[in-house]
Amino acid sequence: MKKALVAMSGGVDSSVAAVFMKENGYDTIGVTMKLYDNEDINMSREKTCCSLSDIEDARSVAFNVGIPYYVFNFKAEFKEMVIDKFVNCYKCGMTPNPCIDCNRYLKFTELYRRAEALGCDVIVTGHYARVKFDENTGKYQLLKGIDDTKDQSYVLYHMTQEQLAHTIFPLGEYTKDEIREIAEKHHLVNAAKHDSQDICFIPDGNHKKFIEQYSHKKIGPGNFLDVNGKVIGKHNGYYRYTVGQRKGINVKREGKHYVLEIRPETNEVVVGRNKDLYTNELIATDFNWISGESPKEPVKVSGRTRYHQPLTKGTASVLENGDVKVVFDEAIRAITKGQSVVLYDGDAVLGGGTIIKTDVNEN
C-alpha cells in the first residue's frame, strides 16, 4: 500500500484532499505545519490561519477520516525563509509574494523532506492544480486547475520534476462548490469554513505596521517625485508603498497619482498618472523551468505578473546569465519588482521567476 502525507491547514480544501487519499486506498497521514506563534506577530489567537482552532479543525477531520495526525514545528524555517524575506524585500523597495515562498521552501522542501523520512511515497496538498505525466516528453507537467476562479498554479511554478513525480493535487479536477458539497457529505467540521484571504501572518492586511513592529525600526519621511525628478510632496516611508498604489499619495498637484517607482536608497517614491504604469517588458531572475530545461530559442507564451491576473500573450527569451526577458504583445499595468511572472502554454505552466526589472512607459 502506498503511503501519503497530506498537508492539512484546517481548511476545507486540504481536509477533502485527505478524504480523497484515504478513499483511494493510500496509507494516509495528516500533518499541520506550525509556522509561528501568534504572539510572535502581535496577533490574537483567533485571527490567523495557524490558530489553535485551525489545528483542532484539522485534528477533528483526521479523526473523522480515520487517519493519524501530527503537528510539525517549522517556526524557525518559516521565520527565516518567509517572514524575514518578506520584510527584507519591502526594505529593498520590492513587493514580495510570501505564499510562493511558503510553498517553495516549506511545503515542497521542508515538508517534502519530512515525508521522505517517514517513508511516504507522495505528498498531498489542497491546491487547485494538476500534475500530468507526458509520455511523449518523459516529463511531468504542472497544469492549471479546471476551476479558473480557484486555480493556484501561479504559486507553484517553482516545482521540480522530482517534486512533481511525488506530489498529488487531488482537487485539481474539481470546482470549489463541488469540494464543499463533498465536505458536507462527509460531515466535515469545516465544510462551510471561509477561505483565508490575507497573508497568514498579517491577517489585518497592514504590512507597514507589521514591518515596523517586526523589525523594530521605522523609516522616516521622504519625498514624492514626479517623473521628471521634481519634489511634489512628502511621504512617511517608502516601504509603505507598492507600484500601482493610489491611496496615501498627498502631492501638490491636481488629479489622481499612482506609485511608479520606489527608491529605497534615497527614501524616494516616484509618482505619476495611471497611463504611466503600463509597460510590456520585464526581466525575471531565479527562474524555474518546470521541464528542468530552459529553451534555446525565444518561445511564444502566455503570462501573468500577478495572482489571478488575466493571461497576456508574449515572447520569452533566456538571457546569458539564465534570467528571462519577457516581451508581452500588450502593455500590462503595474508590473512590480518582487512579484512573480509565470508563463503558460495553454493549461501547462512552463515556469516562472521573480521580477527584478521593468521599464515604465511615459506615453
- What confidence score (pLDDT) does residue 38 get? 62
- Cα 191 to Cα 304: distance, rounded to the nearest angstrom: 31
Instruction: Look at the pTM and tell me if it is higher than 0.85.
Output: yes
Give the CATH number, domain containing residue 228: 2.30.30
User: Contact, 69 vs 63, CB < 8 A?
Assistant: yes
**pLDDT exceeding 70 applies to what percent of the chain?**
94
The one catalytic residue among 50, 89, 102, 120 = 102
Is residue 145 marked as binding? no
Asked if residue 181 and residue 227 are part of one domain, the reply reads no
Mean pLDDT of 24-49: 75
Higher-pLDDT residue of 195, 70: 70
Q: What is the pLDDT of residues 81-133, one digit of tens each?
A: 999 999 999 999 999 999 999 999 999 999 999 999 999 999 999 999 999 99
CA nearest to 205, candidates 244, 235, 240, 237? 240
Is residue 33 marked as binding? yes
Give the CATH number, domain containing residue 48: 3.40.50.620
Tell me if 138 is assigned to some domain. Answer: no
CA geometry: angle 89, 93, 94, nearest 5 deg: 55
Asked if residue 225 and residue 180 are part of one domain, the reply reads no
Asked if residue 175 and residue 267 are part of one domain, the reply reads no
**Total of domains in the chain:** 2
Asked if residue 229 and residue 114 are part of one domain, the reply reads no
Tell me if 9 is assigned to some domain. Answer: yes
With 0-12 CB in 10 A as exposed, 13-18 as middle and 19+ as buried, what is 68?
A: exposed
| Active-site residue flag, 99 | no
Is residue 126 marked as binding? yes
Q: What is the pLDDT of residues 137-178, one digit of tens each?
A: 999 999 999 999 999 999 999 999 999 999 999 999 999 999
Last residue of a domain, one of 272, 297, 312: 272
DSSP β-ladder status, 167-168 and 258-263: unpaired
DSSP β-ladder status, 122-124 and 167-168: parallel
- What confidence score (pLDDT) does residue 51 get? 60
Torsion angles phi and psi, residue 257, rounded to 5: -120, 150
| Residues 6+ away with beta carbon under 8 Å from 121 | 2, 3, 4, 166
**pLDDT exceeding 90 applies to what percent of the chain?**
86
pLDDT tier at 36, thresholds 50, 70, 90: confident
Last residue of a domain, one of 162, 185, 208: 185
Q: What is the pLDDT of residues 276-291, one digit of tens each?
A: 999 999 999 999 999 9
Helix axes 52-65, 12-23, angle to 10 degrees: 20
- Cα 37 to Cα 34: distance, rounded to the nearest angstrom: 8
Q: Can you say whether the dihedral through the CA atoms of 116, 161, 349, 121 is positive or negative?
A: negative
Is residue 215 marked as binding? no
Asked if residue 177 and residue 66 are part of one domain, the reply reads yes
Q: Which amino acid appears at position 125 of this protein?
A: T
Residue 299, pLDDT above cutoff 60? yes
| 14-28, 42-56, 150-164, 192-206: segment of lowest average pLDDT | 42-56
The one catalytic residue among 50, 89, 120, 200 = 200
Asked if residue 261 and residue 179 are part of one domain, the reply reads no
- What confidence score (pLDDT) does residue 39 get? 57
Q: Which amino acid appears at position 217 of this protein?
A: K
DSSP assignment of 76-90 equals: HHHIIIIIHHHHHHH
Asked if residue 249 and residue 180 are part of one domain, the reply reads no
Is residue 27 marked as binding? no
Asked if residue 230 and residue 121 are part of one domain, the reply reads no
Structural domain of residue 40, as residue ranges?
A: 3-126+170-185
- What confidence score (pLDDT) does residue 42 get? 54
The mean pLDDT of the chain is 93
Higher-pLDDT residue of 206, 299: 299
- Cα 58 to Cα 44: distance, rounded to the nearest angstrom: 20
Is residue 10 marked as binding? yes
**How many Cα neighbours within 13 Å face the side chain of 184?**
8
| Active-site residue flag, 102 | yes
pLDDT tier at 363, thresholds 50, 70, 90: very low
Tell me if 212 is assigned to some domain. Answer: no
Residue 45, pLDDT above cutoff 70? no
Q: Give the chain's length.
A: 363
Asked if residue 39 and residue 178 are part of one domain, the reply reads yes
DSSP 359: P
The Cβ of residue 124 has, within 10 Å, a number of other Cβ atoms equal to: 28
Tell me if 28 is assigned to some domain. Answer: yes
- What confidence score (pLDDT) does residue 320 get? 96
User: Contact, 96 vs 18, CB < 8 A?
Assistant: no
Is residue 233 marked as binding? no
pLDDT tier at 362, thresholds 50, 70, 90: very low
Asked if residue 62 and residue 177 are part of one domain, the reply reads yes
Please list the residues that pair with 37 across neighbouring strands. none
- What confidence score (pLDDT) does residue 40 get? 56
